[in-house]
Amino acid sequence: MPTYKYPRPALTVDCVIFGFDRQSTLKVMLIQRKLTPFQGSWALPGGFVRIDESIEAAALRELQEETGLEKLFLEQLYTFGAVDRDPRERIVTVAYYALINLEEYVVKAASDASDAAWFAIDALPPLAFDHDQILLIALNRLKNKVQYEPIGFELLPRKFTLFQLQKLYETILGHELDKRNFRKKILKMGLLRELNEVQQDVPHRAAKLYEFDEVAYEQLREKGFNFEI
Amino acid sequence: MPTYKYPRPALTVDCVIFGFDRQSTLKVMLIQRKLTPFQGSWALPGGFVRIDESIEAAALRELQEETGLEKLFLEQLYTFGAVDRDPRERIVTVAYYALINLEEYVVKAASDASDAAWFAIDALPPLAFDHDQILLIALNRLKNKVQYEPIGFELLPRKFTLFQLQKLYETILGHELDKRNFRKKILKMGLLRELNEVQQDVPHRAAKLYEFDEVAYEQLREKGFNFEI
Protein backbone atom coordinates (compact mmCIF):
# COMPACT_ATOMS: atom_id res chain seq x y z
CA MET A 1 0.00 0.00 0.00
CA PRO A 2 1.52 3.32 -1.09
CA THR A 3 2.67 5.73 1.60
CA TYR A 4 3.40 9.41 1.06
CA LYS A 5 5.14 12.12 3.05
CA TYR A 6 2.07 14.38 2.97
CA PRO A 7 -1.63 13.49 2.66
CA ARG A 8 -2.96 13.65 -0.90
CA PRO A 9 -6.42 14.36 -2.27
CA ALA A 10 -7.93 11.55 -4.30
CA LEU A 11 -8.46 12.39 -7.97
CA THR A 12 -11.63 11.51 -9.87
CA VAL A 13 -13.33 12.36 -13.16
CA ASP A 14 -17.00 13.15 -13.80
CA CYS A 15 -18.70 13.29 -17.18
CA VAL A 16 -21.60 15.48 -18.26
CA ILE A 17 -22.98 13.83 -21.40
CA PHE A 18 -25.67 15.85 -23.15
CA GLY A 19 -27.99 14.21 -25.63
CA PHE A 20 -30.75 15.57 -27.84
CA ASP A 21 -33.63 13.30 -28.79
CA ARG A 22 -36.29 13.13 -31.52
CA GLN A 23 -38.73 15.09 -29.36
CA SER A 24 -36.23 17.97 -29.15
CA THR A 25 -35.53 17.39 -25.48
CA LEU A 26 -32.08 18.12 -24.08
CA LYS A 27 -31.07 15.27 -21.81
CA VAL A 28 -28.19 14.34 -19.58
CA MET A 29 -26.88 10.87 -18.77
CA LEU A 30 -26.99 9.85 -15.09
CA ILE A 31 -26.15 6.69 -13.24
CA GLN A 32 -27.74 5.40 -10.05
CA ARG A 33 -25.18 4.82 -7.33
CA LYS A 34 -24.84 1.33 -5.89
CA LEU A 35 -22.46 2.25 -3.10
CA THR A 36 -22.39 4.70 -0.20
CA PRO A 37 -22.29 7.63 0.08
CA PHE A 38 -25.46 8.71 -1.72
CA GLN A 39 -26.42 5.06 -2.27
CA GLY A 40 -29.43 4.94 -4.61
CA SER A 41 -28.98 8.58 -5.66
CA TRP A 42 -28.40 9.63 -9.24
CA ALA A 43 -24.99 10.99 -10.16
CA LEU A 44 -22.82 11.88 -13.14
CA PRO A 45 -20.87 8.92 -14.46
CA GLY A 46 -17.27 8.96 -13.25
CA GLY A 47 -14.69 7.44 -10.94
CA PHE A 48 -11.10 7.36 -9.77
CA VAL A 49 -8.14 8.18 -12.02
CA ARG A 50 -5.64 5.33 -12.11
CA ILE A 51 -1.99 6.11 -11.55
CA ASP A 52 -1.01 5.02 -15.05
CA GLU A 53 -3.73 6.64 -17.18
CA SER A 54 -4.25 10.23 -18.29
CA ILE A 55 -7.25 12.08 -16.87
CA GLU A 56 -9.08 11.95 -20.16
CA ALA A 57 -8.39 8.23 -20.52
CA ALA A 58 -9.92 7.73 -17.07
CA ALA A 59 -13.04 9.67 -18.13
CA LEU A 60 -13.42 7.56 -21.28
CA ARG A 61 -12.87 4.33 -19.35
CA GLU A 62 -15.39 5.19 -16.63
CA LEU A 63 -17.96 6.23 -19.23
CA GLN A 64 -17.54 2.98 -21.06
CA GLU A 65 -17.72 0.89 -17.86
CA GLU A 66 -20.71 2.70 -16.41
CA THR A 67 -22.79 3.56 -19.44
CA GLY A 68 -21.43 1.62 -22.41
CA LEU A 69 -20.80 4.91 -24.26
CA GLU A 70 -17.59 4.72 -26.25
CA LYS A 71 -15.23 6.94 -28.23
CA LEU A 72 -16.90 10.22 -27.36
CA PHE A 73 -15.20 13.53 -28.04
CA LEU A 74 -14.79 14.85 -24.49
CA GLU A 75 -13.96 18.44 -23.70
CA GLN A 76 -12.54 19.35 -20.32
CA LEU A 77 -15.01 21.51 -18.42
CA TYR A 78 -13.54 22.52 -15.07
CA THR A 79 -11.80 21.05 -12.03
CA PHE A 80 -13.76 21.09 -8.78
CA GLY A 81 -11.75 21.08 -5.59
CA ALA A 82 -13.75 22.51 -2.68
CA VAL A 83 -12.36 20.93 0.48
CA ASP A 84 -15.68 19.48 1.64
CA ARG A 85 -17.24 18.46 -1.68
CA ASP A 86 -17.16 14.74 -0.81
CA PRO A 87 -18.24 13.40 2.62
CA ARG A 88 -15.68 10.55 2.47
CA GLU A 89 -12.48 12.54 2.25
CA ARG A 90 -10.76 15.20 0.16
CA ILE A 91 -11.54 14.38 -3.46
CA VAL A 92 -10.76 16.64 -6.41
CA THR A 93 -12.65 15.94 -9.61
CA VAL A 94 -11.92 16.91 -13.20
CA ALA A 95 -15.18 17.30 -15.11
CA TYR A 96 -15.56 16.65 -18.85
CA TYR A 97 -18.51 17.14 -21.15
CA ALA A 98 -19.68 15.89 -24.51
CA LEU A 99 -22.63 16.29 -26.84
CA ILE A 100 -24.16 13.33 -28.61
CA ASN A 101 -27.05 12.49 -30.86
CA LEU A 102 -29.31 10.16 -28.91
CA GLU A 103 -30.50 8.31 -31.96
CA GLU A 104 -27.04 7.01 -32.64
CA TYR A 105 -26.28 5.74 -29.18
CA VAL A 106 -27.80 2.91 -27.21
CA VAL A 107 -26.89 2.99 -23.59
CA LYS A 108 -26.36 -0.07 -21.49
CA ALA A 109 -25.82 0.04 -17.78
CA ALA A 110 -22.71 -1.83 -16.75
CA SER A 111 -20.59 -2.95 -13.77
CA ASP A 112 -20.37 -0.01 -11.34
CA ALA A 113 -23.81 1.46 -11.90
CA SER A 114 -27.02 -0.35 -11.00
CA ASP A 115 -28.63 1.81 -13.63
CA ALA A 116 -27.77 4.34 -16.30
CA ALA A 117 -30.43 6.52 -17.87
CA TRP A 118 -31.12 9.76 -19.72
CA PHE A 119 -32.95 12.52 -17.86
CA ALA A 120 -34.52 15.60 -19.39
CA ILE A 121 -32.68 18.72 -18.20
CA ASP A 122 -35.90 20.20 -16.84
CA ALA A 123 -36.88 17.08 -14.88
CA LEU A 124 -33.77 16.06 -12.98
CA PRO A 125 -33.73 14.02 -9.76
CA PRO A 126 -31.65 15.31 -6.82
CA LEU A 127 -27.99 14.61 -7.59
CA ALA A 128 -25.23 13.18 -5.40
CA PHE A 129 -22.23 15.25 -4.19
CA ASP A 130 -21.86 18.65 -5.94
CA HIS A 131 -23.02 17.19 -9.23
CA ASP A 132 -25.87 19.69 -9.57
CA GLN A 133 -23.23 22.44 -9.53
CA ILE A 134 -21.09 20.63 -12.10
CA LEU A 135 -24.12 20.17 -14.34
CA LEU A 136 -25.05 23.85 -13.99
CA ILE A 137 -21.57 24.92 -15.07
CA ALA A 138 -21.70 22.52 -18.01
CA LEU A 139 -25.06 23.98 -19.08
CA ASN A 140 -23.67 27.50 -18.84
CA ARG A 141 -20.67 26.48 -20.92
CA LEU A 142 -23.08 25.11 -23.52
CA LYS A 143 -25.13 28.35 -23.47
CA ASN A 144 -21.99 30.39 -24.00
CA LYS A 145 -20.77 28.07 -26.70
CA VAL A 146 -23.84 28.48 -28.91
CA GLN A 147 -23.27 32.24 -28.99
CA TYR A 148 -19.79 31.93 -30.46
CA GLU A 149 -19.62 28.62 -32.27
CA PRO A 150 -21.91 26.64 -34.52
CA ILE A 151 -23.55 23.81 -32.65
CA GLY A 152 -25.77 20.92 -33.60
CA PHE A 153 -23.44 18.82 -35.68
CA GLU A 154 -22.95 16.36 -32.82
CA LEU A 155 -26.49 16.61 -31.47
CA LEU A 156 -28.79 16.43 -34.49
CA PRO A 157 -29.40 13.62 -36.97
CA ARG A 158 -27.48 14.05 -40.23
CA LYS A 159 -30.55 15.44 -41.99
CA PHE A 160 -32.71 17.78 -39.96
CA THR A 161 -35.32 20.50 -40.30
CA LEU A 162 -34.90 24.17 -39.37
CA PHE A 163 -37.55 23.55 -36.72
CA GLN A 164 -35.33 20.91 -35.08
CA LEU A 165 -32.32 23.22 -35.16
CA GLN A 166 -34.33 26.06 -33.62
CA LYS A 167 -35.62 23.71 -30.90
CA LEU A 168 -32.05 22.76 -30.10
CA TYR A 169 -31.08 26.40 -29.62
CA GLU A 170 -34.21 27.12 -27.60
CA THR A 171 -33.59 24.15 -25.35
CA ILE A 172 -29.99 25.08 -24.66
CA LEU A 173 -30.73 28.78 -24.16
CA GLY A 174 -33.83 28.08 -22.09
CA HIS A 175 -36.12 30.50 -23.92
CA GLU A 176 -38.10 30.75 -27.15
CA LEU A 177 -36.71 32.39 -30.26
CA ASP A 178 -38.48 34.29 -33.01
CA LYS A 179 -38.85 31.87 -35.92
CA ARG A 180 -38.30 34.34 -38.79
CA ASN A 181 -35.35 35.97 -37.11
CA PHE A 182 -33.73 32.66 -36.27
CA ARG A 183 -34.06 31.33 -39.82
CA LYS A 184 -32.72 34.52 -41.33
CA LYS A 185 -29.66 34.51 -39.08
CA ILE A 186 -28.86 30.85 -39.38
CA LEU A 187 -29.24 30.76 -43.17
CA LYS A 188 -27.08 33.87 -43.55
CA MET A 189 -24.18 32.03 -41.93
CA GLY A 190 -23.77 29.74 -44.92
CA LEU A 191 -23.58 26.81 -42.55
CA LEU A 192 -26.42 24.72 -43.93
CA ARG A 193 -26.96 22.90 -47.18
CA GLU A 194 -30.58 22.73 -48.30
CA LEU A 195 -31.42 19.21 -49.47
CA ASN A 196 -33.77 18.21 -52.19
CA GLU A 197 -35.72 16.16 -49.66
CA VAL A 198 -38.50 16.56 -47.16
CA GLN A 199 -39.33 14.74 -43.92
CA GLN A 200 -40.91 11.29 -44.23
CA ASP A 201 -43.81 9.85 -42.23
CA VAL A 202 -44.83 12.96 -40.34
CA PRO A 203 -48.43 13.77 -39.46
CA HIS A 204 -48.01 17.45 -40.41
CA ARG A 205 -46.88 19.03 -43.66
CA ALA A 206 -43.41 17.62 -44.34
CA ALA A 207 -40.67 20.20 -43.83
CA LYS A 208 -37.55 20.64 -45.92
CA LEU A 209 -34.42 18.85 -44.74
CA TYR A 210 -30.99 20.40 -44.30
CA GLU A 211 -27.52 19.16 -43.48
CA PHE A 212 -24.44 20.92 -42.17
CA ASP A 213 -21.76 21.99 -44.62
CA GLU A 214 -18.85 20.38 -42.80
CA VAL A 215 -16.19 22.69 -44.22
CA ALA A 216 -18.15 25.87 -43.44
CA TYR A 217 -19.01 24.45 -40.00
CA GLU A 218 -15.37 23.79 -39.18
CA GLN A 219 -14.29 27.22 -40.45
CA LEU A 220 -16.93 28.97 -38.38
CA ARG A 221 -16.01 26.88 -35.36
CA GLU A 222 -12.43 28.09 -35.60
CA LYS A 223 -13.24 31.67 -36.49
CA GLY A 224 -16.17 32.13 -34.15
CA PHE A 225 -19.11 34.53 -34.49
CA ASN A 226 -21.62 36.31 -32.35
CA PHE A 227 -25.08 34.90 -32.79
CA GLU A 228 -26.76 37.47 -30.52
CA ILE A 229 -29.98 35.60 -29.96
CA MET B 1 2.68 9.26 7.06
CA PRO B 2 -0.56 8.71 5.17
CA THR B 3 -1.13 5.36 3.46
CA TYR B 4 -3.74 4.68 0.81
CA LYS B 5 -5.23 1.56 -0.75
CA TYR B 6 -4.26 2.66 -4.26
CA PRO B 7 -1.42 4.93 -5.45
CA ARG B 8 -2.47 8.57 -5.94
CA PRO B 9 -1.15 11.26 -8.25
CA ALA B 10 0.20 14.32 -6.47
CA LEU B 11 -1.79 17.50 -7.12
CA THR B 12 -0.18 20.84 -7.86
CA VAL B 13 -1.16 24.27 -9.17
CA ASP B 14 0.64 26.45 -11.72
CA CYS B 15 -0.04 30.11 -12.43
CA VAL B 16 0.32 32.00 -15.70
CA ILE B 17 0.42 35.67 -14.74
CA PHE B 18 0.35 38.04 -17.71
CA GLY B 19 1.44 41.63 -17.32
CA PHE B 20 1.52 44.55 -19.72
CA ASP B 21 4.13 47.27 -19.25
CA ARG B 22 4.59 50.93 -20.28
CA GLN B 23 6.48 49.88 -23.39
CA SER B 24 3.45 47.85 -24.52
CA THR B 25 5.18 44.52 -23.99
CA LEU B 26 3.18 41.48 -22.93
CA LYS B 27 5.08 39.70 -20.20
CA VAL B 28 4.74 36.59 -18.10
CA MET B 29 5.95 36.01 -14.56
CA LEU B 30 8.46 33.20 -14.10
CA ILE B 31 10.44 31.90 -11.16
CA GLN B 32 13.86 30.27 -11.21
CA ARG B 33 13.79 26.84 -9.62
CA LYS B 34 16.03 26.22 -6.62
CA LEU B 35 15.43 22.48 -6.41
CA THR B 36 15.71 19.49 -8.71
CA PRO B 37 14.34 18.57 -11.16
CA PHE B 38 15.07 21.41 -13.57
CA GLN B 39 17.23 23.14 -10.95
CA GLY B 40 18.14 26.62 -12.21
CA SER B 41 15.48 26.51 -14.95
CA TRP B 42 12.65 28.99 -15.22
CA ALA B 43 9.15 27.80 -14.47
CA LEU B 44 5.64 29.04 -13.80
CA PRO B 45 5.04 29.85 -10.12
CA GLY B 46 3.16 27.04 -8.39
CA GLY B 47 3.38 24.15 -5.95
CA PHE B 48 1.55 21.40 -4.10
CA VAL B 49 -2.08 21.66 -3.02
CA ARG B 50 -2.45 21.12 0.72
CA ILE B 51 -5.06 18.67 1.93
CA ASP B 52 -7.05 21.38 3.70
CA GLU B 53 -7.11 24.16 1.10
CA SER B 54 -9.10 24.59 -2.08
CA ILE B 55 -7.17 24.46 -5.37
CA GLU B 56 -7.61 28.19 -5.94
CA ALA B 57 -6.43 28.95 -2.38
CA ALA B 58 -3.32 26.89 -3.11
CA ALA B 59 -2.67 28.90 -6.27
CA LEU B 60 -3.04 32.21 -4.41
CA ARG B 61 -0.80 31.01 -1.58
CA GLU B 62 1.96 29.77 -3.90
CA LEU B 63 1.84 33.00 -5.89
CA GLN B 64 2.19 35.04 -2.74
CA GLU B 65 5.01 32.89 -1.38
CA GLU B 66 6.98 32.75 -4.60
CA THR B 67 6.39 36.15 -6.14
CA GLY B 68 4.81 38.40 -3.53
CA LEU B 69 1.78 38.93 -5.80
CA GLU B 70 -1.41 39.07 -3.77
CA LYS B 71 -5.18 39.08 -4.22
CA LEU B 72 -5.16 38.47 -7.95
CA PHE B 73 -8.33 37.48 -9.75
CA LEU B 74 -7.38 34.02 -10.98
CA GLU B 75 -9.31 32.15 -13.64
CA GLN B 76 -8.93 28.42 -13.98
CA LEU B 77 -7.28 27.58 -17.28
CA TYR B 78 -7.03 23.81 -17.67
CA THR B 79 -5.89 20.70 -15.81
CA PHE B 80 -2.84 18.91 -17.18
CA GLY B 81 -2.53 15.24 -16.40
CA ALA B 82 -0.32 13.47 -18.92
CA VAL B 83 1.17 10.45 -17.16
CA ASP B 84 4.81 11.43 -17.79
CA ARG B 85 4.61 15.23 -17.46
CA ASP B 86 6.86 15.26 -14.36
CA PRO B 87 10.07 13.17 -14.10
CA ARG B 88 9.63 12.65 -10.34
CA GLU B 89 6.33 10.83 -10.30
CA ARG B 90 2.73 11.17 -11.47
CA ILE B 91 1.74 14.78 -10.84
CA VAL B 92 -1.46 16.40 -12.05
CA THR B 93 -1.51 20.18 -12.16
CA VAL B 94 -4.40 22.63 -12.26
CA ALA B 95 -3.36 25.77 -14.13
CA TYR B 96 -4.74 29.25 -13.44
CA TYR B 97 -4.17 32.54 -15.20
CA ALA B 98 -4.52 36.22 -14.44
CA LEU B 99 -3.92 39.57 -16.12
CA ILE B 100 -2.34 42.44 -14.27
CA ASN B 101 -1.15 45.94 -14.88
CA LEU B 102 2.61 45.93 -14.29
CA GLU B 103 2.72 49.51 -13.08
CA GLU B 104 0.59 48.63 -10.09
CA TYR B 105 2.52 45.61 -8.97
CA VAL B 106 6.00 45.31 -7.59
CA VAL B 107 7.27 41.79 -7.50
CA LYS B 108 9.53 40.45 -4.84
CA ALA B 109 11.06 37.02 -4.95
CA ALA B 110 10.38 35.06 -1.80
CA SER B 111 11.02 31.76 -0.01
CA ASP B 112 10.70 28.95 -2.58
CA ALA B 113 12.05 30.78 -5.60
CA SER B 114 15.63 31.95 -5.86
CA ASP B 115 14.34 34.51 -8.30
CA ALA B 116 11.07 35.80 -9.74
CA ALA B 117 11.02 37.94 -12.85
CA TRP B 118 8.93 39.15 -15.76
CA PHE B 119 9.83 37.89 -19.24
CA ALA B 120 8.60 39.28 -22.54
CA ILE B 121 6.42 36.69 -24.31
CA ASP B 122 8.64 36.84 -27.38
CA ALA B 123 11.88 36.33 -25.44
CA LEU B 124 11.24 33.42 -23.12
CA PRO B 125 13.92 31.13 -21.67
CA PRO B 126 13.41 27.33 -21.95
CA LEU B 127 10.82 26.33 -19.33
CA ALA B 128 10.76 23.43 -16.88
CA PHE B 129 8.32 20.50 -17.16
CA ASP B 130 5.47 21.03 -19.65
CA HIS B 131 5.25 24.71 -18.74
CA ASP B 132 5.79 25.86 -22.33
CA GLN B 133 2.65 23.92 -23.24
CA ILE B 134 0.69 25.43 -20.35
CA LEU B 135 1.82 28.92 -21.36
CA LEU B 136 0.84 28.27 -24.98
CA ILE B 137 -2.65 27.24 -23.94
CA ALA B 138 -2.95 30.31 -21.72
CA LEU B 139 -1.92 32.53 -24.62
CA ASN B 140 -4.47 30.88 -26.88
CA ARG B 141 -7.15 31.41 -24.24
CA LEU B 142 -6.18 35.07 -24.13
CA LYS B 143 -6.34 35.33 -27.94
CA ASN B 144 -9.79 33.79 -27.95
CA LYS B 145 -10.92 35.98 -25.11
CA VAL B 146 -10.17 39.25 -26.88
CA GLN B 147 -12.45 38.21 -29.74
CA TYR B 148 -15.48 37.84 -27.50
CA GLU B 149 -14.94 40.00 -24.45
CA PRO B 150 -13.57 43.44 -23.77
CA ILE B 151 -10.05 43.29 -22.43
CA GLY B 152 -7.60 45.79 -21.07
CA PHE B 153 -9.29 46.88 -17.89
CA GLU B 154 -6.90 44.75 -15.82
CA LEU B 155 -3.86 45.29 -18.02
CA LEU B 156 -3.78 49.01 -18.83
CA PRO B 157 -3.30 52.00 -16.54
CA ARG B 158 -6.58 53.73 -15.61
CA LYS B 159 -6.05 56.40 -18.25
CA PHE B 160 -4.63 55.26 -21.55
CA THR B 161 -4.34 56.22 -25.20
CA LEU B 162 -5.92 54.44 -28.16
CA PHE B 163 -2.40 53.63 -29.28
CA GLN B 164 -1.76 51.75 -26.04
CA LEU B 165 -5.02 49.83 -26.39
CA GLN B 166 -4.21 48.90 -29.98
CA LYS B 167 -0.73 47.78 -28.91
CA LEU B 168 -2.32 45.54 -26.30
CA TYR B 169 -4.53 43.86 -28.90
CA GLU B 170 -1.64 43.55 -31.35
CA THR B 171 0.59 41.99 -28.70
CA ILE B 172 -1.99 39.44 -27.66
CA LEU B 173 -3.04 38.58 -31.22
CA GLY B 174 0.53 38.50 -32.44
CA HIS B 175 -0.02 40.64 -35.53
CA GLU B 176 -0.50 44.28 -36.50
CA LEU B 177 -3.92 45.86 -36.87
CA ASP B 178 -5.09 48.63 -39.16
CA LYS B 179 -5.15 51.81 -37.07
CA ARG B 180 -8.27 53.39 -38.59
CA ASN B 181 -10.24 50.18 -38.54
CA PHE B 182 -9.27 49.39 -34.97
CA ARG B 183 -10.27 52.84 -33.70
CA LYS B 184 -13.58 52.76 -35.54
CA LYS B 185 -14.49 49.36 -34.11
CA ILE B 186 -13.39 50.02 -30.56
CA LEU B 187 -15.11 53.43 -30.36
CA LYS B 188 -18.32 52.01 -31.81
CA MET B 189 -18.57 49.62 -28.86
CA GLY B 190 -19.32 52.45 -26.44
CA LEU B 191 -16.76 50.98 -24.09
CA LEU B 192 -14.49 53.99 -23.72
CA ARG B 193 -14.92 57.40 -22.18
CA GLU B 194 -12.93 60.16 -23.85
CA LEU B 195 -11.25 62.32 -21.22
CA ASN B 196 -10.57 66.00 -21.39
CA GLU B 197 -6.88 65.26 -20.91
CA VAL B 198 -3.82 64.42 -22.95
CA GLN B 199 -0.63 62.51 -22.16
CA GLN B 200 1.99 64.29 -20.07
CA ASP B 201 5.76 64.35 -20.58
CA VAL B 202 5.94 62.58 -23.92
CA PRO B 203 8.50 63.44 -26.59
CA HIS B 204 5.90 63.22 -29.38
CA ARG B 205 2.60 65.04 -29.82
CA ALA B 206 0.54 64.24 -26.71
CA ALA B 207 -2.36 61.87 -27.45
CA LYS B 208 -5.84 62.02 -25.99
CA LEU B 209 -6.49 59.89 -22.92
CA TYR B 210 -9.39 57.50 -22.44
CA GLU B 211 -10.75 55.39 -19.63
CA PHE B 212 -13.06 52.37 -19.63
CA ASP B 213 -16.73 52.89 -18.88
CA GLU B 214 -16.98 50.26 -16.14
CA VAL B 215 -20.72 49.66 -16.55
CA ALA B 216 -20.50 49.27 -20.33
CA TYR B 217 -17.40 47.11 -19.91
CA GLU B 218 -19.15 44.77 -17.50
CA GLN B 219 -22.26 44.56 -19.70
CA LEU B 220 -20.20 43.73 -22.77
CA ARG B 221 -18.21 41.18 -20.79
CA GLU B 222 -21.41 39.36 -19.89
CA LYS B 223 -23.08 39.73 -23.26
CA GLY B 224 -20.05 39.13 -25.43
CA PHE B 225 -19.39 40.34 -28.96
CA ASN B 226 -17.39 39.37 -31.97
CA PHE B 227 -14.52 41.73 -32.61
CA GLU B 228 -13.43 40.08 -35.86
CA ILE B 229 -9.99 41.56 -36.02
**CATH code: domain of residue B185:** 1.10.10.10
Task: Average the pLDDT over each of A111-120, B11-20, B57-66 and give the range with the smallest value.
Answer: A111-120
Question: Residue A117 is which amino acid?
Answer: A
Which run of H or E residues covers position B222?
A: helix B214-223
Predicted confidence at residue A94, as pLDDT, reads 98
Model confidence at B228, in pLDDT bands (50, 70, 90)? low
Predicted confidence at residue B25, as pLDDT, reads 86
Mean pLDDT, range B118-144, rounded to an integer: 95
Residues of B in contact with A83 (CB under 8 A): 52-54
Main-chain phi, psi angles of A33, to 5 degrees: -75, 135
Q: Cβ of A3 under 8 Å from any chain B Cβ?
A: yes
Q: What is the count of structural domains for chain A? A: 2
Put simply, the answer to whether A148 touches B226 (Cβ < 8 Å) is yes
Tens digit of each residue's pLDDT (9 = 90 or more) over A56-96: 999 999 999 999 898 898 999 999 999 999 999 999 999 99
Tell me: do B81 and B192 sit in the same domain. Answer: no
**C-alpha–C-alpha distance, residues B120 and B141, integer Å:** 18
ipTM metric: 0.90
Whether A2 is covered by a domain: the verdict is no
CB B208 within 8 A of CB B161: yes
Whether B129 is covered by a domain: the verdict is yes
Q: How far is CA A118 from CA A20, A29, A30, A31, A105, in A?
A: 10, 4, 6, 9, 11
Tell me: do A144 and A166 sit in the same domain. Answer: no
Spell out where B89-128 has E strands: 91-101, 115-120
Mean pLDDT, range B33-50, rounded to an integer: 95
Is the pLDDT at B142 greater than 80? The verdict is: yes
Final residue before a domain boundary, out of B85, B112, B147: B147
Is the pLDDT at A135 greater than 60? The verdict is: yes
Tell me: do B181 and B68 sit in the same domain. Answer: no
Q: How far is A199 from chain B (nearest CA, A)?
A: 35
Mean pLDDT, range A120-136, rounded to an integer: 96
Is the pLDDT at A111 greater than 60? The verdict is: no
> What residue numbers bound the domain in which B189 lies?
162-223
CB B121 within 8 A of CB B30: no
Q: Residue B108 class from Cβ within 10 Å (0-12 exposed, 13-18 middle, 19+ buried)?
A: exposed
- The residue among A19 and A108 whose pLDDT is bigger is A19
Model confidence at B107, in pLDDT bands (50, 70, 90)? low
* Cα torsion through A134, A140, B76, B168, rounded to 10: 180
Highest mean pLDDT range out of A19-33, B115-129, B215-229? B115-129
Q: Cβ of A55 under 8 Å from any chain B Cβ?
A: yes
Q: Cβ of A79 under 8 Å from any chain B Cβ?
A: yes
Is the pLDDT at B146 greater than 70? The verdict is: yes
Final residue before a domain boundary, out of A85, A113, A148: A148
What residue of B is the nearest CA neighbor of A80? B55
**C-alpha–C-alpha distance, residues A53 and A140, integer Å:** 29
Tell me: do A167 and A91 sit in the same domain. Answer: no
What residue of B is the nearest CA neighbor of A221? B144
Predicted confidence at residue B114, as pLDDT, reads 55
Whether A166 is covered by a domain: the verdict is yes
Tell me: do A106 and A135 sit in the same domain. Answer: yes
**Per-residue H/E/C for chain A:** CCECCCCCCEEEEEEEEEEECCCCCEEEEEEEECCCCCCCCEECCEEECCCCCCHHHHHHHHHHHHHCCCCCCCEEEEEECCCCCCCCCCEEEEEEEEEEEHHHCCCCCCCCEEEEEEEECCCCCCECCCHHHHHHHHHHHHHHHHHHCCCCCCCCCCCECHHHHHHHHHHHHCCCCCHHHHHHHHHHCCCEEEEEEECCCCCCCCCEEEEECHHHHHHHHHHCCCCCC
Is the pLDDT at B109 greater than 80? The verdict is: no
Of residues A10, A52, A144, nearest to B8 (C-beta) = A10
Whether A229 is covered by a domain: the verdict is no
Tell me: do B141 and B184 sit in the same domain. Answer: no
Predicted confidence at residue A201, as pLDDT, reads 82
Predicted confidence at residue B153, as pLDDT, reads 85
Tell me: do B211 and B117 sit in the same domain. Answer: no
Predicted confidence at residue B71, as pLDDT, reads 85
- The residue among B229 and B96 whose pLDDT is bigger is B96
Task: Average the pLDDT over each of A5-14, A103-112, A139-148 and give the range with the smallest value.
Answer: A103-112
Q: How far is A88 from chain B (nearest CA, A)?
A: 13
Model confidence at A228, in pLDDT bands (50, 70, 90)? low
Tell me: do A124 and A59 sit in the same domain. Answer: yes
CB A102 within 8 A of CB A21: yes
Tell me the average pLDDT of chain A: 90
Residues of B in contact with A90 (CB under 8 A): 51-52
Mean pLDDT, range B178-204, rounded to an integer: 91
Predicted confidence at residue A51, as pLDDT, reads 97
